Amino acid sequence: MPRILIVEDEDSILMALEDDLSLEGYAVTGETDGARGLERAQKGGYDLIILDVMLPGMDGFEICKQLRGAGDTTPILMLTAKSQEVDKVLGLELGADDYVTKPFSPREVLARVKALLRRGKPANPPLERVSFGDVEVDFKGYEVRKAGVQVELTAKEFTLLRLLVSHPGEVLRRDTILNEVWGDDWDVFPRTVDTHVANLRRKLEDDPADPKYIVNVRGVGYKFVADGP
């Protein structure tokens, strides 16, 4: 269960966020004081930190700066007030990953939280090896073998494979895959994902026409099934 630390001094906002995120299955810790928030964050163990800007004790920018200065890479979502346009930019320059402007809807925060947690996953810890069926993948050495025989993958196929196997059993939407693998390259289309999946299946599945590991979820996207059939 992902753990989230929220540092916010407005009780109503803190309670609403705690409720919404707990309902989504996150383990939430709330803190209303900036200095105590930093202490908690420094103890570590959180998958995401939500930071208000204006806080008693220490402001959100300072907390962010200190965490990043100490090499802490935990995703940080800043909560900013509407008039703080400059603050937003500053927050991101200090190493925050994203921000939402008050007043925000719970759905908006939830969407950002999910995106940040997803983005954070492959970074810590990096996936080094995975095997399924007779396929062995060495992500560090960029090597793939099927039944002991080396398989050549393109860089994009490799990145796509890494993304899929990093989320076993989880359906990844085509647009999510596009964002993660192709980033801001707008020359690509959802069909590109299908083409690359087809290539991976041809190279890795026993029967590419009846795939066991990289499964199509009709109308949504793809999922990796670690144990196969």
CB of 189 to Ca ion, least distance (A): 43
Q: Nearer Cβ to Ca ion, position 47 or 52?
A: 52
Give the span between the Cα atoms of 67 and 64, in whole angstroms.
5
185 touches 179 (CB < 8 A): no
Q: Closer CB to Ca ion, residue 64 or residue 172?
A: 64
Closest CA to 61 of 84, 78, 41: 78
Task: Please name every residue paired with 136 in a beta bridge, in sequence order, or none if there are none.
Answer: 131, 145
Peptide bond into 103 cis (omega under 30): yes
53 or 130: whose CB is closer to Ca ion? 53
User: Least distance from C-beta 9 to Ca ion, angstroms?
Assistant: 5
> Are 60 and 54 contacting, i.e. CB atoms less than 8 angstroms apart?
yes
Cβ atoms 41, 67 nearer than 8 A:
yes
Q: Whole-number minimum distance, CB 59 to Ca ion, in Å?
A: 9
> Minimal distance in Å, beta carbon 87 to Ca ion?
12
The minimum distance between CB 31 and Ca ion, in angstroms, equals 12
Nearer to Ca ion, 12 or 150 (CB): 12
- Collapse the DSSP code of 28 into the 3-class scheme (helix H, G, I; strand E, B; otherwise coil) and give the result: strand
Q: Could you identify the residue written with the tokens 């992500």?
A: 139
How far apart are the C-alpha atoms of 9 and 14, rounded to whole Å? 7
Nearer to Ca ion, 78 or 177 (CB): 78
**Residue 60 or residue 211: which is nearer to Ca ion going by CB?**
60
Note the residues at the interface with Ca ion (CB under 5 A): 9, 52, 54
Q: Looking at beta carbons, which residue is closest to Ca ion?
A: 54
Residue 142: other Cβ atoms inside 10 A? 10
Indicate the Cα dihedral angle 194, 197, 201, 204, nearest 10°: 170
Nearest distance from C-beta of residue 60 to Ca ion, angstroms = 8
Which 3 state secondary structure label does DSSP give 200?
A: helix
